[in-house]
Amino acid sequence: MKCFLTLILAFSSAVLFAQPVVMSRIKADSLGLPKKQLSDYATRTGVMLETPFSVQARMKSAVQSALSLDRMTDLNLWCSIYLNAEGRVDYVLYEFMPVAGEGSMKPAPGADSLGRVLEAKLPAFLNEVISSRNAGSKSIYRTFSDVQAFPSGVKKDSTVFGLASALAAQDTLKVSKLHLSRSLLTEVPDVIYRFPNLQMLMLDDNDLKSASINMKRLPKLRHIDLSRNVLDSKEIRISKNTSLKWLNLQKNGMHDIPAAVQRCKSLQTLWLGYNPADHLSNKSFRKLKKLRDLNLYRADITVLPKGIKKLRNLEVLDLYYNKLESLPASIVNLKKLTHLAISHNQLKELPERIDKLASVHTLYAHHNRLSKLPPSIVNMQNLKILDLGFNWFTTFPSELTSFVRLSELDLSSNNFPEFPEQLLKIQNLGKLYLRGNPFLQKDSEDKYSRQLGQLKSRHIEVFY
On whether both 388 and 448 belong to a single domain, the answer is yes
Listed range (75-79, 281-285, 341-345) with the worst mean pLDDT: 75-79
**Cα–Cα distance, 185 to 171 (Å, whole number):** 24
The yes-or-no verdict on residue 250 having pLDDT over 90 is yes
* Domain final residue pick, 144, 161, 189: 144
On whether both 133 and 256 belong to a single domain, the answer is no
**Cα–Cα distance, 220 to 229 (Å, whole number):** 24
- Note whether 239 and 264 are within 8 A (CB): no
Listed range (33-37, 53-57, 215-219, 298-302) with the worst mean pLDDT: 33-37
Q: Which domain holds residue 94?
A: 2-144
**Cα–Cα distance, 292 to 418 (Å, whole number):** 42
**Cα–Cα distance, 256 to 276 (Å, whole number):** 8
On whether both 193 and 287 belong to a single domain, the answer is yes
On whether both 458 and 380 belong to a single domain, the answer is yes
Those residues whose C-beta lies under 8 Å from the C-beta of residue 236, and which sit 6 or more positions away, are: 210, 211, 212, 226, 249, 258, 260, 261
On whether both 252 and 282 belong to a single domain, the answer is yes
The yes-or-no verdict on residue 77 having pLDDT over 80 is yes
On whether both 225 and 282 belong to a single domain, the answer is yes
Could you write out the three-class secondary structure of 47-106? CCCCCCHHHHHHHHHHHHHHHCCCCCCCEEEEEEEEECCCCEEEEEEEEEEECCCCCCCC
On whether both 409 and 320 belong to a single domain, the answer is yes
Chain-centroid distance of CA 60 in Å reads 25
Give residue 438's pLDDT band: very low, low, confident or very high (50, 70, 90). very high
Listed range (68-77, 129-138, 280-289, 411-420) with the worst mean pLDDT: 68-77
pLDDT digits (tens, 9 = 90+) for 347-395: 999 999 999 999 999 999 999 999 999 999 999 999 999 999 999 999 9
Give residue 5's pLDDT band: very low, low, confident or very high (50, 70, 90). very low
Those residues whose C-beta lies under 8 Å from the C-beta of residue 349, and which sit 6 or more positions away, are: 326, 370, 372, 374
Q: Residue 224: which CATH number?
A: 3.80.10.10
179-207 burial, b for 16+ CB within 10 Å, e for fewer?
A: bbbbbebeebeebbebbeebbbbbbbbbb
**Cα–Cα distance, 120 to 126 (Å, whole number):** 12
On whether both 12 and 126 belong to a single domain, the answer is yes
On whether both 172 and 72 belong to a single domain, the answer is no
Q: Among 387, 419, 418, which residue's Cα sits nearest to residue 400?
A: 387
Listed range (95-109, 123-137, 279-293) with the worst mean pLDDT: 95-109
On whether both 209 and 116 belong to a single domain, the answer is no
Q: Which amino acid is at 174?
A: K
Classify 320 as helix, strand or coil: coil
Give residue 36's pLDDT band: very low, low, confident or very high (50, 70, 90). low
* Domain final residue pick, 98, 118, 144: 144
On whether both 221 and 330 belong to a single domain, the answer is yes
| The overall pTM is greater than 0.85 | no
At what angle are helices 111-121 and 53-67 packed, to 10 degrees? Answer: 110
Listed range (88-102, 114-128, 421-435) with the worst mean pLDDT: 88-102
On whether both 275 and 418 belong to a single domain, the answer is yes
* Domain final residue pick, 95, 126, 144: 144
Q: Which residue has the higher pLDDT, 420 or 117?
A: 420
Please give the tally of structural domains in the chain: 2
Listed range (135-149, 331-345, 409-423) with the worst mean pLDDT: 135-149
Q: For position 455, what pLDDT does the model report?
A: 93
